[in-house]
A and B are shown apart, each in its own frame.
Chain A
Amino acid sequence: MAPSPERSKEAWGSRIGVILAVTGSAVGLGNFLRFPGKAAQYEGGAFMIPYFVALLLLGIPIAWAEWALGRYGGAKGHSSIPGIFRAIWPSRAAPYLGALGMLIPVAIYMYYVYIEAWCLGYAVEFLRGTFRPEPGQAMDIARYGGFFGAFAGLGDDGAVFSMSGGFFHSAVFYLLVCFVLNFVLIYRGLTKGIEWFCKWAMPALLACAVVVLVRVLTLGTPDATRPEQSVVNGLGFMWNPSTKSAGFWASLSNSQMWLEAAGQIFFSLSVGFGIVMCYASYCKRDDDIALSSLTACAGNEFCEVALGGLITIPAAFVFLGAAGAMDAAKAGTFSLGFVTLPCVFAQMPFGQVVGALFFFLLFLAAITSSLSMLQPAIALLEEGLGLGRRAAVSLLGLITALGALFVVYFSKGAKAMDTLDFWVGTFCIYLLATIQVLLFGWVLGTERGYAELSRGAEIRIPRFMMAVIKYVSPLYLLTIFGVWLYQIGSRDENYFNELLADSEGGRVARLSIVWIAVLLVFFILIIAQAVRRWRREEARAKEASP
């Protein structure tokens, strides 16, 4: 009998919901800001070669490994990363390696929520007309830089608390809104909170992205006196495989570009954060994980390359020219996002609405990511201390509030944020991803790993991917890690000299490292408690069995 139209419509709606939820969990700020900046900085078109190589050899294989490890640990009754590691590798050290899986998402949350607040603040300020250019005045990018510096408190430590523009227009107010919103949604529980939010946030994000994309692609040549600053030339600036500085093959031989491309894939797909592994542990034994993770990768790549790649840099080129767009790309993600783009949107027709939509899009992308960052720690607090969800959320709320205040107070030059991002958001992620891929390939083993990945799978994963996970991905990761360490240590003014310097920045950096160490010790103590509980439970189960 043919299904009724109502039933078909309902099933179709549910599947769209699945697709949006899967995609929404993967999309973040890096898709619309970090990727275009990196691609333009490294000759645009040439950057795509190492980018896609890294996607196939690093991104997709490690994403599959994380889902498989998570579901394997979940079947043994564990959802926290230490518990999952212990289930896979019965060693005393295994659960303590999992402390990284607690530290990374919690510490990243502490500064990510502040960036999220900037996005929300910029969306509201665009609507209020704060960024509207003065009539008859030439474009003044310094004005936008000045606004960002004051808004984010980059001039001095504690400057953000002065709230010179009033409490309701300060970053502190938007931070409070984001913090409360995150915790209300998390407090409601995952399925009631995050799923409900993603159901409308993801379509809204895609709609905002499409509106902004259409606006940028129909800009034409807004300034007739500068015919070279057209949108087609802007696309060329982003995608041409060779530029005046280097040809295609010369660009491809740039090792730094290969590192950056791999890093972009890595952070964009959230590989190595531990979050995916925690969520995968809640899957049923015969749920699909192979197609689910691939759909998340595909949705993320579409938003990054097809939307982010066509919006940010071409828009900057049209209003700032080649030199301005290159400066924006090289100045970093924050400068591109919060100085250059507001200036660009302010110049374009309907820029007030387009700017508001773009920053609201960034806010939605950020909050769908930040909502998932706390679940690994919640799982450990529940498993280790026997807390209920609400008690775990409250304790974590207190810890992350202290951490966010630390980041917000030490805002001069975003030093505390930079230090947390360097040690946790870069160094620790490489470490955890390497541990995960080694656990999958060498401890769980590719035979058991392949069986785990294939159980309930809606697609057939090629066998050779196991060899990629076992040999290629770890080698790739270790090479990137080694070269990255060599590079930061061998610069003339290297990072470590700056860290040890008797300067204000050096002191804040050292204080940030102490804060990371305190967090790490806190999680290690909870893991020790969790290990004792697991041992007691195992002993009781052993006694109970005949």
Chain B
Amino acid sequence: MTTGGWVIMVCSVGFVTLFLAWTLYKVFSTPGAETHLHSQADLDPHDQDS
């Protein structure tokens, strides 16, 4: 593995890890995050007979 390979790998993996860490920090530091942050999984479609 070349030095360039190490640089690209560390930068790429580092970037996505920091990106995720920053969003996790924002979620944890947000008051009431569990009630107003959403994904497809926890949205209620208000279906008529569910």
Contacts and interface: CB of A to CB of B under 8 A. Distances in A.
Given A14-B34, A190-B44, A305-B13, A240 B2 contact: yes
B45 A296 contact: no
Contact of B5 (A191, A241, A286): A241
Nearest to A289: B38
15 contacts: A21-B41, A25-B41, A44-B8, A194-B41, A198-B39, A236-B5, A238-B9, A240-B2, A279-B38, A284-B36, A288-B30, A289-B38, A291-B30, A295-B27, A306-B17
B16 A275 contact: no
B12 A233 contact: no
Interface residues of B, number: 39
A379 B34 contact: no
A68 to B, nearest CB: 14
B13 to A, nearest CB: 5
A9 B30 CA distance: 15
Contact of A15 (B5, B8, B12, B34): B34
A390 interface: yes
B27 to A, nearest CB: 6
Interface in A270-295: 275-276, 279, 282-284, 286-289, 291-292, 294-295
Given A24-B41, A288-B36, A19 B12 contact: no
A131 to B, nearest CB: 29
A306 B21 CA distance: 13
A310 interface: yes
B16 A305 contact: yes
Given A14-B34, A19-B27, A282-B43, A298 B16 contact: yes
Contacts of B46: 282
A309 B37 contact: no
A190 B43 contact: yes
B16 A302 contact: yes
Contacts of A390: 49-50
A216 interface: no
Contacts of A388: 47-49
Kindly list the 5 A-B residue pairs having the minimum CB-CB distance in the complex, ordered from nearest.
A236-B1, A189-B50, A14-B34, A389-B47, A45-B8
Contacts of B5: 44-45, 235-236, 239-241
B46 to A, nearest CB: 7
Contacts of A52: 12, 15
Given A19-B27, A240-B2, A291-B30, A279 B47 contact: no
B7 to A, nearest CB: 8
Contacts of A305: 12-13, 15-16
B12 A189 contact: no
